[in-house]
């Protein structure tokens, strides 16, 4: 998914978009977990990248644990990814696809910024 630009009026009136946090609550280059509608979402704030925030499922489908927010951000053959802290598989941050095993993928969400507040689209 991607980071979008959305008109503030539409953002606040569209029930698909939920405010997650303020930029100050995110740690640059590290993951944090947000819980939305009982769904754990791993957020990665990468201020030096064109897309500054990625939102992916916190559930590691291979290790079967909620750990992805504690993974290591890196690059696999030019693909920005997160390595699972348990079994070290790499998942592309933009698509959620597992690089080593394409049978696995993480869910990803669109995000946007409004007045330094992070919003996420909870629908696909």
Task: Go through 1-33 and write b for each residue having 16 or more CB atoms within 10 A of its CB, e for each that does not.
Answer: bebeebeeeebeeeeebeebbeeeebeeeebbe
Locate all alpha helices (DSSP H) within the chain, ordered by sequence: 8-13
Per-residue pLDDT at 4 exceeds 50 = no
Q: What is the DSSP letter of 12?
A: H
pLDDT in tens, 51-106: 889 999 999 999 999 999 999 999 998 999 999 999 999 999 999 999 999 999 99
Q: What is the mean pLDDT of the chain?
A: 88
Write down the pLDDT at residue 50: 83
pLDDT above 70 covers a percentage of the chain that reads 88
Q: In 3D, which of 32, 29, 59, 34 has the Cα closest to residue 119?
A: 34
């Amino acid at each position: 998914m991607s980071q979008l630009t959305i008109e503030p009026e539409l953002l606040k009136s569209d029930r698909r978009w939920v405010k997650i946090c303020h930029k100050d609550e995110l740690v640059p280059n590290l993951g944090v977990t947000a819980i939305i509608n009982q769904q754990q979402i791993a957020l990665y704030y990468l201020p030096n990248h064109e897309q500054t925030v990625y939102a992916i499922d916190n559930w590691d489908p291979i290790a079967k644990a909620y750990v992805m927010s504690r993974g290591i951000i890196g690059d696999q053959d030019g693909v920005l990814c997160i390595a699972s802290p348990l079994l070290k598989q790499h998942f592309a941050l933009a698509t959620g696809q597992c690089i080593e095993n394409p049978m696995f993928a993480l869910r990803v969400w669109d995000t946007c910024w409004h007045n330094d507040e992070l919003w996420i689209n909870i629908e696909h």
